[in-house]
Amino acid sequence: MPNDKYSPYTFDEMLDAIGLLRDSPFADLSDTQIKTHLLRMMNGGQINTWNMNTRSFRIRHAEDGQFVSDIKGLIAKEPPHDKYNRCNTKENSAYYAALNIETALLESNAEEGELYQVLEMSPKENTLLNTVIVGWLDYLRRHNSPPPLLRALHNNQAKTAKELIEEIAPEGATKQILFDAFIADQFRKIVPNDKDEGYRATALYSSLMLENDRFEQILYPSVANFGGWNVAIRPDLVTECLEVSSVHLIRVDQDLGYGMYDCTVVGQGSLSGSEITWTCGDDYISKSGESPFFRDTIRDPFSRLSYARRVEKALSTLPNDAGKKQFLYVLNVHVSDYDGPIAMDEYVFNKFDNQSLSALRDLLEVCDLDIRNEVIKNAKFLLATDSYLDLDCVERHLNDRFGEDPDRLVRSVLLSYNTQYRDWGARYRATENRLSITMQSIDEISKICQS
């Protein structure tokens, strides 16, 4: 983040600044002084970012049974704030959320018998945010491997990590890794409720990141949940880049410790514009099939582990070793002249049969029931590749080459999955398709795979 006003620290100056910020009471330093130290530590080194987006959960305590009636009340608290938070200064806000429901409950200090409103957000289709991941270099240094989060969410993480280490001068790489370790340690620091000054380093760091046009969200390690991750997003991007997947009311029946809870979904919020209408109580509980997937993962902590095994088994049963390819694309198109499966080095193309449809059902298990049924109903062919395909690019290419009306919006690809993911919960919507693909167009796709 180059800034001519702040010259980069030398290695020794950086060590002194880290010692000052780590060990001294923050009351001795102004916000401007802390920001200056952070900028001079960061200046001169590249800040690694990734284009990614992910599902997230945000929880708000329903104190005294009072529910939020406007969705904005669940997204972010408007400034000014009376104290610092992990990613908020007193003048700025961020949309906070956790990447799974257990982390959200732990971060909220959920208590037995209390009600909590759960907002689940999903990325809008083809929307990616420029993301800073706190602590990834420190993890790479310690474990000689990028963190699982990065391996799951980004396709070229291994190449990116290797290039970083090889292309930066040794002292520059050391300073970058040192700063990443320092700021990750600050994010992991436990801060007592009456000592919000302890948040100033991370709050001001987040302010510097999110107020810069280059950066749109921060992923950082959870303090409350070991191995969990939180996300902070610029509030102005929330409605632009995310959409509401569900709004639910849950009751914490029992805190089992170690991030394990027994909860019951006791209500659901319906949206009309930004207004939330709640359906709660026994009338809601008596209805079957309306509980979101996260209820099962909370009530049965082993369901996630067993589901991961089901995913691996499902991938292994796909014909022609399609499950070994990095990407799976489910097509809802009609393919002319199909006379059998194609297994090439670059791609595998199969028509869905009973066995592969059964595997697809397991891969879709965490999707909403209606979406799952629609996908299964429309799934015709499976394309597996080791190359990421820009679905919009594929569609435009096929429409331009084979479509009768290039200006008419059609969908040639129904949905796609990266087989390295272990969270198949992204909510894709099946769409009507009016394009008939020939085997010639499949060859065209294979050329895109190789490009």
**pLDDT (tens digit per residue) in 196-218:** 888 899 999 999 998 888 888 99
Residue 301 has pLDDT above 60, yes or no: no
Q: Are 131 and 218 in contact (CB under 8 A)?
A: yes
Q: Which amino acid is at 319?
A: P
Spatial neighbors of 444 by CB under 8 A, at least 6 apart, are: 397, 398, 401
Residue 110 has pLDDT above 60, yes or no: yes
> pLDDT at position 427, please?
42
Q: Which residue has the higher pLDDT, 88 or 435?
A: 88
> pLDDT at position 151, please?
65
Residue 439 has pLDDT above 50, yes or no: yes
pLDDT bin (cut points 50, 70, 90) of residue 424 is very low
Query: CA–CA separation, 216 vs 238, rounded Å?
Result: 10
Tens-place pLDDT, residues 379-397: 889 998 888 777 777 777 8
Across the range 47-53, mean pLDDT stands at: 76
> pLDDT at position 59, please?
92
Where are the domains positioned within the chain?
49-299, 303-450
> pLDDT at position 225, please?
86
Across the range 5-11, mean pLDDT stands at: 81
Residue 320 has pLDDT above 90, yes or no: yes
> pLDDT at position 204, please?
93
CA triple 421-427-432, angle to 5 deg:
120
Strands 95-98 and 229-233: antiparallel
Averaged pLDDT score across all residues of the chain:
79
Query: CA–CA separation, 36 vs 318, rounded Å?
Result: 55
Q: What is the dihedral of CA 284, 288, 292, 295, to 10 degrees?
A: 90
Q: Which residue has the higher pLDDT, 406 or 442?
A: 442
> pLDDT at position 422, please?
41
Query: CA–CA separation, 176 vs 188, rounded Å?
Result: 18
How many angstroms separate the Cα of 139 from the Cα of each of 18, 125, 193, 194, 219? 19, 30, 28, 31, 14
> pLDDT at position 426, please?
45
pLDDT bin (cut points 50, 70, 90) of residue 83 is confident
* Bridge partners for 268 per DSSP: 248, 279
Q: Which residue has the higher pLDDT, 147 or 10?
A: 10
Name the E strands within 62-184.
95-98, 115-123, 129-133
Report the predicted TM-score, pTM, of the whole model to 2 decimal places: 0.68
Percent of the chain with pLDDT over 70: 77
pLDDT bin (cut points 50, 70, 90) of residue 134 is very high
pLDDT bin (cut points 50, 70, 90) of residue 421 is very low
> Which of 33-37, 188-192, 278-282 is predicted least confidently?
278-282
Distance of CA 330 to the CA centre of its chain: 22
Q: Which two tokens stand for residue 156?
A: 């070229």
Tens-place pLDDT, residues 237-293: 888 888 888 888 888 888 888 878 878 788 888 888 889 998 886 656 554 444 444
Spatial neighbors of 347 by CB under 8 A, at least 6 apart, are: 325, 383, 384, 385, 386, 445, 446, 449
